[in-house]
Every structure is written in C-alpha cells, then in structure tokens.
Chains A and B, each alone.
Chain A
Amino acid sequence: MWRGNAWPATLLIAGMVGYGLFISLSMTTWGDYKQLSADPVFLESVGISLYVAVSSTVLAVLIGAGLAGFFAKQTGWAAQILAVPLFLPHLGAAYLAILYLSDFPVIGPHEVNQFSIILTYLYKEIPFVFFYLLPVYRRLDHRYEELGLMLGLSRIKRFWHGKGVFLLFPVLEAAFIVFAFTLFAYEVPALLGVTYPKLIGVYTFDLYTQGDLSRQPEAFAISVLLTGILFLLLLLFTRMIRPLTERISKGRIE
C-alpha cells in the first residue's frame, strides 16, 4: 500500500470533467452543432484562436527549448532570471502588456494582429517550457552525439539520433500543454483582445453570460465540440507517439 493511490485524483478529476461535459451536452441539441458549423462568427473566432495558439506555441517551444539546450550544462544566472515570470500570474503579465505596449501602434493591445496577446504568452510560456525541458536536456547522454560524429553522420542525422529522439516526446508534450492553454484562455484575451473577432474562450464565456438565455445552448455546444476535438487529438497523440518513443528507447525491433 505504500505504492500510493491514484483513485482519489482520478475520481475527482474525471468526475468533474465528465459531469461538466455531460451537463453541457444535455443542454444542447443536434441542431445547435449544425448551426455552429455554419456560423461565420464562430468560425472566425476559431480561426483567430488557432492563429494565436499556434504562433505562441511554436515560438515559445522553439525559444524555450533553445534556451534549455543552451543552458543545460551550466545555468548560472539564467535559471534564476527565467524563473521570475513563473511567479507572476498571467493576469499580472497582461497588466505589464497594458502598461508598456499601450502606446505602440503594432504591438499594442487591441490590435487585430493580436501581437500583444502573443507577447504576453511568450513572457510566461518561454520560462515554462524552459523549466519543463531543462531536466530532459540535462539527462541527455552526449555519447550518442559523439557516436554520430565518429560515424560521420550529417548534422541533421546527428541531431536526431543524438538528441532529437529523446527530446521528441517531452517537447511535444510541452507544446500540447501550451497550445491547449493559449487556445482556451479567458483572462488575457479578455483584457488585450479586439472587439471582433474575439478569441474562443472570451467569445464562449460572453455567450454564456449574456442577458438572454437564447444563446446559452451555443455556449454549451462550443464547449462540448472543443472538448471533443481536443480529447480526440489527445488520444491520437498518445496512441501514435507512445509506441514511437517505446521503439526509440528500446531500439528497432528486427
């Protein structure tokens, strides 16, 4: 029994997620979903949310991973500096954006290019990715890369066999977490976003709280739809990547 017990956590989390999903589902009808797929406001909101999420994720992961790799051996001051944004809640980071970027034309808040939102996310997520990947980089065995050198592999092949295979799963994990977070967030886009199109988290929350009950089923339908899609993505992810990493760590099965 000293091996711990995963049941309380599972019941609590799966229970709340499942129940929330179930109730949301029960408040919608098939017609709501059909209506959504044709609703231009909804689709544009999804479009811009994807744009923000993908850009934030790609940039955060590239820079964060790059920094982690760079500082893996000897961190020095870098780790302390990069830890600071971790202490600031996202809400505070939004304030910094308002404070500094307000007077700039392109990167200021309330711009259609959403740069202020992306920059705010970068401020918070780069340290997150950095600290998430740092232990992974530290555990890398450099002998694989040396082996590659000795065997005369090309740079790309060297990188892949020496580091890439070990980094793949953690990097994708970190990317997925950042992606899901930036896609659905509310507080930051609510403060820094534009009137139209709204990011999907803000749009759905506004639909839910607006005076007339008539639009609530839309809000519920959006929640169910997005949850469903991401759940599928998650399953695909684990189904496809897990065997890949097992194959990598165990070696090719001849």
Chain B
Amino acid sequence: MRRRIITGVTGLLILVPLLGLIPSTWTWNPRLFETLATTISMIVALTLLNHSIGYITGKAIAFRAGRLIRSMEILISLPLFLPVLLLSFGLYLTWIRLGLADQFVGVLLVLLLPTLPYTIRIYTNAFQALGEQMMEQMVLIEPSRIKRFVFLTGPMMRSAIQSVTLLVTVIALSQYALVTLIGGGVVQMIALEAFPLYSGNSLIAAKEATIWLLVLPFLIYFVQLMLLEAWVRLVRRLLDGRYDSARQ
C-alpha cells in the first residue's frame, strides 16, 4: 500500500508537469525545422563515435588491470567533474588555429567531452556484469571480432546500448553555450533557436521548441529499440543451433 502511494506521488510530480507541453495549436516554426537536419546528424555522428570508443574503452577498463588502466580511468572521468564549458574557452582558440571552429567536426569533438565519460562508465559496468569468464568463452567460440560482436557480445549489451544512446542524445540537445561558442552560429543545433525563445515574448514558440526537445530523444530511443529487437531476432534465426554441438 505504501508502495502504491509513493509510486503515485512520484508519478504525479513527474508526469503532470509534462501535460503542460501538450500543444493547443500546432504551428510549424521553419527555423526550428532547419536546425533539425544539423541536430539529428550531429546526434547520430556523436552516438556512433560514443559507441565505438565507449565499447573498446569500457572493455579495457573492465578486463585489464594495473596502475596504468586505473589512471586512465581517472583521466577519462575528468570531464564529469570539471567545468567543461569554461575549459572550452581555451579549446576554442586552439580550434580556430586548427580550422575546427565553426565546423561540424569541431563541435562534434567538443561534444565528446560531456558525453564520453558517461558512455564509458556504462560500458564498463556492462562488461563487468558480463564477466571476464563469459567474455573469454565468447572469444573461444567465435574468434572473428565482428562476428562475435554481432552474434554474442552485442545482443548481450542491449540495455547498455540503449542507455548510452539516450544519454548522448539528451546531453547533446541541451548544450547551448558550448555549441554557440565553438560552432559560431554556423553549426545550428536546436538549442541555438530554443534558448533565446525561452527568454523572449512568445511562450508558444518556447513550448514548441520544448516539445521537440522531448520528442527527439523518445523517437531516437524507440527507433533504436526496434532496431535492437530486429537484430536479436535476426541473430536468433541465423544462429538457430549453429553452435549446438548436438545438432546433426
């Protein structure tokens, strides 16, 4: 009974505010729409980078030992505790010299700072939960790295993959100052249009922007969910007892 009450109260506090986002009229803000292309490509690129780097790094931290790995772990966690925006003042000057300022790639690299540490942590936990022995077994069963990922390790990390994508998406969408500083108004992500709207006259325009901010992560999450399910189904069908030594 107590559980129900607490669940209920939590539900109210969390979900009721979201009701305010339901639009009464729907207007298509063309400027918001323009930023969608850049935003989505940035998120896709960032997510892919995060997954690839996070996967191999998480594995290393989980399965290797030694002082070097421990120090690397700390170095990697640094951006979680340091003021990334403030450090980017210095980075900005370097980026200009490298020609990365006002560029998609420049912003992409900088967005790695607030996202990678979380990603690596999630993958580390996932590999630790998997266990070194299970990992060794997998290596024995399927030596080819790609095949191993597609059939074995990948599907077992489904929830980690989900969490990583979600976190990367949400963090990237919220970055206004960082994107404006490094992107210089050329790399137009949705925050660039949304942020000024929040301190402007039109509450309706602001509401619209927020709806997008909420819809994008949900959309990406569910698309990925379906892709992952399809993946698992495909793998199951393909495997279908291939590794079953008892099969004739």
Selected interface stretch from A34-42, A73-81, A152-160:
A73-81
B76 interfacial contact with A, CB 8 Å: yes
Interchain CA distance A195-B117 in the complex, whole Å: 33
Q: Which residues of A contact B175 (CB under 8 A)?
A: 187
Q: Which residues of B contact A23 (CB under 8 A)?
A: 89-91, 93-94
Are B166 and A208 in touch, CB under 8 angstroms? Answer: no
Are A81 and B199 in touch, CB under 8 angstroms? Answer: no
Are B214 and A87 in touch, CB under 8 angstroms? Answer: yes
A70 interfacial contact with B, CB 8 Å: yes
Are B87 and A21 in touch, CB under 8 angstroms? Answer: yes
Count of chain B residues with a beta carbon within 8 Å of a chain A beta carbon = 80
Count of chain A residues with a beta carbon within 8 Å of a chain B beta carbon = 74
Closest Cβ of chain B: how far from A221's Cβ, in Å? Answer: 10
Are A88 and B213 in touch, CB under 8 angstroms? Answer: yes
* Residue of A whose beta carbon sits closest to that of B127: A4
Are B74 and A16 in touch, CB under 8 angstroms? Answer: no
Are A4 and B55 in touch, CB under 8 angstroms? Answer: yes
B174 interfacial contact with A, CB 8 Å: yes
Quick one: CB contact mask for B62-99 with A, threshold 8 Å, 1 for yes?
11100001001111111111111111111101100000
B101 interfacial contact with A, CB 8 Å: no
* Known contacts A81-B11, A84-B18; A13 and B113 CB within 8 A of each other: yes
A184 interfacial contact with B, CB 8 Å: yes
For window 124-143 of A, CB contacts with B under 8 Å fall at: 127, 135
* Known contacts A6-B60, A91-B213, A96-B17; A205 and B85 CB within 8 A of each other: yes
Are A5 and B60 in touch, CB under 8 angstroms? Answer: yes
Are B213 and A81 in touch, CB under 8 angstroms? Answer: no
A98 interfacial contact with B, CB 8 Å: yes
Are A89 and B174 in touch, CB under 8 angstroms? Answer: yes
B53 interfacial contact with A, CB 8 Å: yes
A177 interfacial contact with B, CB 8 Å: yes
Are A17 and B81 in touch, CB under 8 angstroms? Answer: no
A180 interfacial contact with B, CB 8 Å: yes
Are A76 and B86 in touch, CB under 8 angstroms? Answer: no
Interchain CA distance A25-B214 in the complex, whole Å: 38
* Known contacts A14-B78, A205-B177; A84 and B89 CB within 8 A of each other: no
* Residue of B whose beta carbon sits closest to that of A77: B7
**Which residues of B are in contact with A by a Cβ distance under 8 Å?**
3, 6-7, 10-11, 14-15, 17-18, 20-21, 53-64, 69, 72-91, 93-94, 109-110, 112-113, 116-117, 120, 125, 135, 139, 145, 166, 170-171, 173-177, 191, 194-195, 198-199, 203, 206-207, 209-210, 213-214, 217-218, 221
Nearest 5 A-B pairs (CB), nearest first? A4-B59, A23-B90, A223-B86, A20-B87, A4-B60
Given contacts A2-B145, A91-B174, A191-B198, 17 further A-B contacts (CB under 8 A): A5-B57, A9-B120, A13-B75, A20-B89, A24-B89, A84-B15, A86-B166, A88-B18, A89-B173, A89-B217, A91-B191, A92-B174, A95-B213, A204-B86, A223-B87, A227-B82, A234-B78
